Each structure stands twice: as C-alpha cells, then as structure tokens.
C-alpha cells in the first residue's frame, strides 16, 4: 500500500509509466548514486554538520525516532524485570509453603498458646502462598503478551524506521550530488545539463520515497505507543486487583492473629535477684519523681552491692567477720616456715608435745630403683597397617 503512493502522485497510475523515472537509469548513474550515498553515510558517522534547513524539516521525524527507541528499550527492560519478578515470586511461594508446613509440624510438640499461635501463623503463610499464586497468573499472561508485542509490533516498526533512515541518507546524498552539478553547471559544456537533470530526477525520486516512509514512521510510532498503553491498562488491571486482594486478606489475617497472641500470657525474665532488681521493680518511676529519690535509690543499690560483696566474702573465707580477716597481718607476712606457719600465731596451731611431733615427722629414705641404665628396653610392635617405607618418609618430612 505504501509503495503505491510513491508513484501515483507524479504519474498517471497506469502500468506503462509506473517506473518512468527508472527507464533511463544507466549503470554509471547507479554507481554515482551509490557513491554519493556512501559519502553522506560517512559524513553522518563522522558527525559533520548538516544544513539547518534539512535539520528543521526532519525535526518531527527525529522526535518520533527518539520516541521509538525509548519504547523499544523500555519494553526490553520490562521483559527482563517481569521475568525476574515472576521467577523470584515462585521461589517466595515455595518458601512460604515450606515455612507454614514447618510451623504446623513443630506446633504439635508445643502446648497451649504457643502451639495455637504457631498453627495460626502457619495457616496464614499457606494462605499468603495461595494468594501469591493468584498474582503470578496475570503476571505470566502479561509477560507473554509483552513478548508478542515486542516480537511483532516493535520489530515491524523497526523495519520501517530503518528503511526511513536509509531513504534519508540516500536523499541527502543525492542533494550533495545535485549541489555539485549545479556548481559545475556550464551551458557551453557538453552534457552538463544532462548530468544536472539526472541528479535532479534522483533527488525527486528519493524525496518522494522519503516522504512516504516518514509518514509511515510517524503513524506507526504513534500507533505503537497507543497500543502499548492499551496493553498495560488491560493486563495490569487484573494484576492490580489480585494484588489488592492479597494485601487485604493477609492484613486481616495477621490482625486476627495479633489479637489472639496478645491475649495469651506473657513471660517475665529475671536475671539473678541477688545482683539486680526484677524487671518490674527496675522500671522508671512516675514523671513527678524528684532527684532526691534517685539519690536514695543509688545509695540503696550501693548498700545492696556492699552486702552482696560481704556475702561473697563469707562464702569464700567461711568466716563471719570478713573485715577482721582482711585487717589481720596474715596476708601481709611471708610464710618462711615449711609448714606454712609463722611464730606469731597462737601456740594451739602447732604441736608442742615431742611425742606428737615425733609421730608427725615424715621418714625420708632412698627411692626404689624403677629402671636400670644397663638394661635394654623391649621393643614395641608397630600398629597394624604400618610399613617401614612410610616411617622413613615421615622421618624425612620431620
């Protein structure tokens, strides 16, 4: 349909003059046309400055090209994101199912409130996995529809855009050709007007082809953007409803569990009553508490710590009055006696009776010989599995 518009505007539309501009194209003309097209391509790659009038005429076309590239890039990125999303969502569903099953099994070994709370949370996890599975359905459908949209609509529009860009390069190359021939135009030169007319016909043909492809590109890009918006609005609506239902159901389920668990009894943990006040008594007092009360509490805590230290001293030393033991010189003197006694101790601590001292005196004599130097030590048989080569290797390693 688009190719028919290219010639019907300048010809009668009949078959005999459909390709009237191509009847007189020689091989030399085609070669020159390809030469100027290649030259324009090199200029565009090198970033040469184009004519401002050409840039102004192609402003709308360039805007549509940037829009098309944005649509293509964002569609590809969205495909990757949705694919990863549905993959991780499936893993999360499996983890919630396993976690809920584990809570239900472990609740059998518990009692009363703990078992009831674990069972309820396990059921909520299973319910959450069920609703997440319902979310995954519209997501997979959206992924498949977006893949079809990318493979068909975007690829078709990409073909049209590429053809339009090639036509623009050919058109600008033919303009360079016509500009050169017009500068070299001399009526006295043979075939000068012939060359100018040839370049002019090529420019006219490329212009018509470029205008047709420009129109197709503008229409296709607008249609592509509108169709993608319609695709998102239709497919994401069901996903949004499933997501809203999921949050509504799960939030209500967890709120019920909270009311059940909050009504159960709580446990109070205390750490060593001798060292610290219970958690209930250690809580801060009312706002009207003065600084004097804080000083009194600090002094009472210091007294309690002192009492606990004294109690620990009684446990260690085994006496009632620890201060007397600490004030005595028994820890300040060095024990020179072999029995660990000093001369200042009372007489009752050491025996004074000679017979008693004689009985307590230890006998010291020669020690029995346990091992003779000249005797040979019997060899010990090696353990099973031991080899002589292995022993040599271990000695070498040492």
C-alpha closest to that of 175 among 200, 195, 209: 200
Please give the C-alpha separations between residue 355 and each of 4, 300, 348, 358, 360, in angstroms, as whole numbers. Answer: 142, 57, 16, 5, 9
Does residue 161 or residue 7 have the better pLDDT? 161
- Report the alpha-carbon distance of residue 129 to residue 248 in Å, rounded: 14
The values of phi and psi at residue 222, to 5°, are -65, -45
Give per-residue pLDDT as tens, 67-109: 999 999 999 999 999 999 999 999 999 999 999 889 888 888 8
Class level of CATH domain 2-262: mainly alpha
Q: Which two tokens stand for residue 143?
A: 């992924």
Residue 286 confidence class, pLDDT cut points 50, 70, 90: very low
Structure tokens at 340: 């660990």
Q: What is the per-residue pLDDT for 225?
A: 92
Mean pLDDT, rounded, of the chain: 71
pLDDT band at 3 (very low <50, low <70, confident <90, very high): very low
**88 vs 292, higher pLDDT:** 88
Closest CA to 4 of 19, 25, 16: 19
Determine what percent of the chain is predicted with pLDDT higher than 90.
15
Model pTM greater than 0.85? no
**pLDDT: which is higher, 22 or 190:** 190
pLDDT (average), residues 137-149 = 91
The Cα–Cα gap between 175 and 26 comes to: 19
pLDDT at site 319? 41
Instruction: Encode pLDDT of 150-164 as tens digits.
Output: 989 999 899 989 888
Distance separating alpha carbons of residues 201 and 195, to the nearest angstrom = 10
Task: Please tell me the distance from the alpha carbon of residue 257 to that of residue 122, in angstroms, as a whole number.
Answer: 11
* 205-264 confidence digits (pLDDT tens): 888 888 888 898 899 999 999 999 999 998 888 899 999 989 988 888 888 778 777 766
* 282, 286, 292, 293 alpha-carbon torsion, rounded to 10°: -40
Q: What's the rounded mean pLDDT across residues 4-11? A: 46
Question: Over 60: is that where the pLDDT of 360 sits?
Answer: no
Q: How far apart are CA 249 and CA 228, in angstroms?
A: 31
Q: What is the pLDDT of residues 294-334, one digit of tens each?
A: 545 555 555 565 565 454 444 333 444 444 444 444 444 44
Angle (nearest 5°) at CA 331 between 329 and 336: 95
Per-residue confidence (pLDDT) for residue 230, from 0 to 100: 92
The answer to whether 99 and 213 are in contact (CB under 8 A) is no
Highest mean pLDDT among 255-259, 306-310, 345-349, 388-392: 255-259
CB-side exposure of 346: number of CA atoms within 13 Å?
A: 2
pLDDT of residue 369: 60
- Among 29-33, 206-210, 364-368, name the one with the lowest average pLDDT: 364-368
Q: Output the pLDDT for position 347.
A: 46
Q: Bigger pLDDT: 198 or 285? A: 198
Mean pLDDT of 48-69: 81
Looking at per-residue confidence, does 278 or 252 come out higher?
252
HEC string of 194-230 equals HHHHHHHHHHHHHHHHHHHHHHHHHHHHHHHHHHHHH
Domain extent listing, the chain: 2-262, 270-282+290-331
- The pLDDT of residue 168 is 86
Do residues 206 and 174 make contact, with C-beta atoms less than 8 angstroms apart? yes
Which of these ranges, 56-60, 136-140, 292-296, 377-381, has the smallest mean pLDDT?
A: 292-296
């Amino acid at each position: 349909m688009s190719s028919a518009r290219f010639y019907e505007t300048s010809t009668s539309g009949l078959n005999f003059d459909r390709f009237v501009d191509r009847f007189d194209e020689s091989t030399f003309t085609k070669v020159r046309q390809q030469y100027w097209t290649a030259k324009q391509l090199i200029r565009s790659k090198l970033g040469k400055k184009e004519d401002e009038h050409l840039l102004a005429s192609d402003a709308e076309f360039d805007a549509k090209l940037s829009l098309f590239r944005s649509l293509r890039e964002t569609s590809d990125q969205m495909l990757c994101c949705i694919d990863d999303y549905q993959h991780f969502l499936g893993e999360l569903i499996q983890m919630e199912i396993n976690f809920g099953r584990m809570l239900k099994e472990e609740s059998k070994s518990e009692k009363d409130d703990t078992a009831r709370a674990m069972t309820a949370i396990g059921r909520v996890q299973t319910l959450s996995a069920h609703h997440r599975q319902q979310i995954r359905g519209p997501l997979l459908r959206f992924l498949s529809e977006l893949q079809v949209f990318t493979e068909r609509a975007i690829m078709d529009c990409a073909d049209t855009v590429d053809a339009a860009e090639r036509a623009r390069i050919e058109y600008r190359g033919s303009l360079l050709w016509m500009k050169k021939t017009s500068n070299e135009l001399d009526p006295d030169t043979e075939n000068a007007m012939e060359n100018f007319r040839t370049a002019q016909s090529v420019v006219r043909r490329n212009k018509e082809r470029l205008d047709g492809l420009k129109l197709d590109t503008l229409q296709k890009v607008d249609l592509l953007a509108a169709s993608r918006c319609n695709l998102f609005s239709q497919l994401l609506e069901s996903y949004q409803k499933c997501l809203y239902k999921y949050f509504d159901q799960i939030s209500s389920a967890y709120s019920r569990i909270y009311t059940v668990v909050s009504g159960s009894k709580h446990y109070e943990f205390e750490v060593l009553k001798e060292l610290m006040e219970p958690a209930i008594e250690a809580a801060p007092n009312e706002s009207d508490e003065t600084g004097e009360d804080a000083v009194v509490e600090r002094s009472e805590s210091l007294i309690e710590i002192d009492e606990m230290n004294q109690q620990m001293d009684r446990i260690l030393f085994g006496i009632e009055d620890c201060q007397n033991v600490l004030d005595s010189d028994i820890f300040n003197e060095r024990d020179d006696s072999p029995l660990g006694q000093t001369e200042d101790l009372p007489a009752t601590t050491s025996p004074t009776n000679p017979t008693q001292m004689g009985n307590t005196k230890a006998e010291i004599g020669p020690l029995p010989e346990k091992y003779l130097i000249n005797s040979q030590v019997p060899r010990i048989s090696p353990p099973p599995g031991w080899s002589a080569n292995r022993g040599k290797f271990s000695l070498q390693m040492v």
